[in-house]
Amino acid sequence: MIFTITKHKNRYILIESSAPFNTRESSLSSGLISSMHKQIGEMGHAELNPKIVYQYNDSAFVMRINRGFERKAILALSFLKEVNGRRLGFYTIKTSGTIRSLTSYCKKFY
């Protein structure tokens, strides 16, 4: 059997929380990922493989997911209203293929 190796492609989502949310604190970032896991289930989590990769300011951060599953991630974040017992809302501001384009967008709007 021949395995063809294709380039793994990601998508980056710029997310803003309704209240300050510092993902550099490991408890908060893992709390967010586990809350997402509850929403999308084991299969969805494997498909998405979400990871927080960049914190822009107090409330805006970037999440990396597998390409092609953006819709699932956006829906999961819409219905996610509690992280570590804190009531929060998450808005997906922009989806892009690179972090650079998201940071340039941030510079414009924040």
Partner 1 sequence: MKYFDMALFDVDESLQKRLGYSRIYCSGKDFVIQETPKHSSSRIIIRTQDQNNLIRFMKDGAVYGIIFENFDLSKKTIEQAAMSRKTIFIPVSSLLWHSVWDRQRELQKIRKIVIAAHKLKAKVAIATFAENKESLLSREQLFEISKMIIQTKNSKFSIFGGDIYDN
Least distance (Å) between residue 24 CB and partner 1: 22
Residue owning tokens 């956006």? 74
- CB neighbours (10 Å) of residue 16? 20
Beta-bridge partner residues of 82: 87
52 binds partner 1 (CB under 8 A): no
92 binds partner 1 (CB under 8 A): yes
The values of phi and psi at residue 3, to 5°, are -95, 125
Stretch that binds partner 1, among 2-10, 24-32, 50-58, 83-91 (CB under 8 A): 83-91
Q: Could you tell me which residues come within 8 angstroms of residue 86 by beta carbon, excluding any fewer than 6 positions away? A: 19
95 binds partner 1 (CB under 8 A): yes
Interface residues toward partner 1, by CB under 8 A: 16, 18-19, 71, 74-75, 77-79, 81, 87-89, 91-93, 95, 109-110
